[in-house]
Structure 1
Amino acid sequence: MRRMAVLFACLLTCTGALATSTLQPGDTPPDALGVTRDGTHLTLSSMRGKVVVVSFWATWCGYCMKELPTLANIQQVATQRHLPLQIVAVNHMESVRTFATVARNMHRILPDLLMSRDGDGSVGRPYGSDDGIPVMAMFQRDGTLVHLHVGYDESDLDGILAEINALVAQQPAAPGATQAPASP
């Protein structure tokens, strides 16, 4: 019985450590956003000045596959209207072959969607992708994490769209000024 109590206490400690390692709004995240089909290493810093929305997905996640066309449509509208928005769809821990096939097929019908691959899960881990996907992270123009959604579904879509619209509508901070993060 005592062994079980010790094991349970260790499990709680480990679980707590994992939960606190997930990035929180206001944090500055790691720079890496995966690798594209053509081998380009995407970085958050290369998109500075834009609102960046990162969605971690996999082919086995039904909601993720339904969400990709929606994200592509949002990106298409932003591109047409010259809005400072970049959406990045990061494939979570699937083979190079699976990613390449899906990215090629998606590019044919959704050419505005920027796709990359996180083969070992290291890109998504700080955002909580180990706890399940989909995961969506939203960043202000300065690269600061503002919103993080882990394991959401269609019922959250209106709120997510409102968050994206609010971020895009924010005026950029004056050079040298700090911009307060939006409330989560």
Structure 2
Amino acid sequence: MLSAPSIAAPTAPPMPGDIAPDAVGMTVHGRPVRISDYRGRVIVLTFWASWCAPCRDELVLLERLQRSAGAQRLRVIAVNWHEARGRFPALVAQLGPAELTLSSDADGRAGDRYGVRMIPRMFIIDRDGRVAYTHTGYDPKASIGTIVDEVNTLLAQTPPDLRPPP
């Protein structure tokens, strides 16, 4: 796990059951990225940086996971953490034609709301916008199997719009 240099003290990370903080950066076109825009889908929110090799490896696997599940059921939001906003377009171009939702958190505010202290840092969010699982670090042999199991558990649950009224 790698830490970013000279960051502000983040708040405590949201825990399973907590509502996920909504604002998670800006797209390459300057539009805000919000968790609420993907309500009804399972969300994998991951914080990464270009200098973090495990982060880049994880992004490749997360894109495959999103492709497999379908973007209408699962959305991966990859937040570029604490890198200059001016570098973000080049970083997006380096990733190629990614299907992931990419956002920039150059000022670290989104990371602060999520209590990010090191990367990779992941939050798996259910269809109702609540944090279901969290992960710190990445182990290619162990992490992806656990992540797939957690995502599949959430995907198997009945979507909010199909639940019977209370």
Tell me which interval the TM-score lies in, with the shorter structure as reference length.
Answer: 0.7 to 0.9
More strand by share: 2
Structure 2 partner of 1:12: none
Say yes or no: does 1:55 pair with 2:41. no
Alpha-carbon separation, structure 2, partners of 1:96 and 1:160: 29
Listed one character per residue, the Cα deviations across residues 119-146 of structure 1 (whole Å, up to 9, x for unaligned) are: 111112232312x100110111010111
Structure 1 partner of 2:82: 93
In structure 1, the gaps of 5 or more residues are 1-17, 178-184
Alpha-carbon separation, structure 2, partners of 1:19 and 1:115: 21
The 1:46–1:119 alpha-carbon spacing in structure 2 relative to 1, beyond 3 Å, is same
Retained in 1: the 8 A contact 2:10–2:111?
A: no
Q: CA RMSD in A?
A: 2.0
Alpha-carbon separation, structure 2, partners of 1:19 and 1:89: 19
| 1:115 aligned residue (99, 102, 107) | 102
The answer to which structure, 1 or 2, has the higher relative contact order (CA under 8 A, 6+ apart) is 2
Say yes or no: does 1:160 pair with 2:151. no
Structure 2 partner of 1:27: 18
Retained in 2: the 8 A contact 1:34–1:41?
A: yes
The TM-score with structure 2 as length reference comes to 0.84
Number of matched pairs: 155
Structure 1 partner of 2:128: 142
| 1:76 aligned residue (67, 72, 77) | 67
User: Deviation of residue 83 (structure 1)?
Assistant: 4.9
| 1:172 aligned residue (145, 159, 164) | 159
Structure 2 partner of 1:66: 57
In structure 2, the gaps of 5 or more residues are 1-8
User: Deviation of residue 152 (structure 1)?
Assistant: 3.1
Identity of aligned residues (%): 37
Alpha-carbon separation, structure 2, partners of 1:21 and 1:75: 28
More helix by share: 1
The 1:39–1:83 alpha-carbon spacing in structure 2 relative to 1, beyond 3 Å, is closer
- 4+ runs of 1 displaced by more than 3 Å? none
